[in-house]
Structure 1
Amino acid sequence: MLAQEEARLLNHNFIGTEHILLGLIHEGEGVAAKALESLGISLDAVRFKVEELIGPAAGPAAGSPPFTPRAKKVLELSLREALQLGHNYIGTEHMLLGLVREGEGVAAQVLTSLGADLSRVRQQVIQILSGYQNRETAGASVGG
């Protein structure tokens, strides 16, 4: 999981909302990365802000870092977002929506400090998803 990799890069012995956010952007191709990119939020800017807020740990973390309670909450909210949208999978878009809905963790603080309005992030994700659904529907009617 990219969040775990991001936590290791910062020598953190936990996986927080900030690591989930870094992982979503690091992934690069998903709806979450595209939504954030379209809002002018880059991996470098997020990484810089995370390091500014909590900094890297002094030494490498041992073992598999656990999720913080807030990060676990984001995972639960991601599932709810997927179900609410009628999706049978949890994608990067649902994870980002979970981060936005949680609204108080380091990830939300980072996004707002970089000028993102959390409701705008949500709208952008939904807009991108509706674009994908429209293309799939158009493709099905053309081919069918």
Structure 2
Amino acid sequence: MDQRISDILALGFPGRQTDRAMEAVALGVQCADELDDRHFDSCHLLSGLYREPDGIAHHVLDGLGIKLQQIDDAIRESEHDPIDADFSIDDDLRIVMSNAFASADQMWHSYIGTEHLMLGVVADGTHSAKLLADLGVTEAQVIREVHSILGHVGVLKVVPAVLRRLFPRRTTR
């Protein structure tokens, strides 16, 4: 595996990502390469999520009317400070990965899939959230679309809280 992909995945929770999530990261790195960007941020990941045609994130973006060309054009138009490194990872990827993990945990999923990464890229403070907002897509729309596809509409906030009270997680020593 390309070291850049490993470094990005290490920001999250290694071993918990699905094959599609890992492929989306690899496709995001490919996007950065195609655009001759040496600084990987959440916008490149967003492009990778769209480029993974079997991932839930692709279907979310497609359902919201977003096309790959729009994402890649917005990345091209964004200004980046020149960097000296061969490859660097933007700090906003930490926000994405943290929110992806929180989303998976809230849904009681033991894995990080493209749907969780999609929820991470719309988090406040990420470059990808701004890109999507500029394209007319809100965080609420993305959340609704993800939950609609997963079949969690309306129960996501209540069920985990009830289940956690009934079945608290045990810690091992």
Aligned residues: 126
Is the alpha carbon distance of 1:34 and 1:87 closer, same or farther for their aligned partners in structure 2, counting shifts above 3 Å? Answer: same
2:121 counterpart (86, 96, 99): 99
- Whole-angstrom distance in 2 between the partners of 1:113 and 1:67: 23
1:69 corresponds to: 91
Over aligned residues, Cα RMSD in angstroms?
Answer: 2.1
Q: Does 1:28 align with 2:50?
A: no
Please list every run of 5 or more consecutive structure 1 residues that lacks an aligned counterpart in the other structure: 132-144
Deviation string for 1:69-108 (max 9, x for gaps)? 11122112111111111111111100010111x2222211
Summarize the alignment of residues 124-139 of structure 1 with structure 2, pairs less than 5 Å apart. 124-130=145-151
2:32 corresponds to: 7
Kept in 2: contact 1:3–1:21 (CA 8 A): yes
2:133 corresponds to: 112
**What is the Cα deviation at residue 65 of structure 1?**
2.5
2:41 counterpart (5, 13, 16): 16
**What is the Cα deviation at residue 122 of structure 1?**
1.0
Aligned residue identity for 2:77: E
Kept in 2: contact 1:13–1:62 (CA 8 A): no
- Whole-angstrom distance in 1 between the partners of 2:31 and 2:51: 9
Kept in 2: contact 1:14–1:65 (CA 8 A): yes
Is the alpha carbon distance of 1:64 and 1:127 closer, same or farther for their aligned partners in structure 2, counting shifts above 3 Å? Answer: farther
- Whole-angstrom distance in 1 between the partners of 2:69 and 2:84: 25
Percent identity for Structure 1 against Structure 2: 29
**What is the Cα deviation at residue 30 of structure 1?**
0.9
1:90 corresponds to: 112
TM-score normalised to structure 2 length:
0.66
- Whole-angstrom distance in 2 between the partners of 1:92 and 1:64: 27
Please list every run of 5 or more consecutive structure 2 residues that lacks an aligned counterpart in the other structure: 1-25, 153-173
Point out the more displaced range, 19-28 or 4-13: 4-13
* Greater helix share, structure number: 1
Q: Does 1:42 align with 2:63?
A: no
- Whole-angstrom distance in 2 between the partners of 1:79 and 1:109: 21
Deviation string for 1:47-77 (max 9, x for gaps)? 112212237x8xxx99863321111221121
- Whole-angstrom distance in 2 between the partners of 1:78 and 1:41: 21
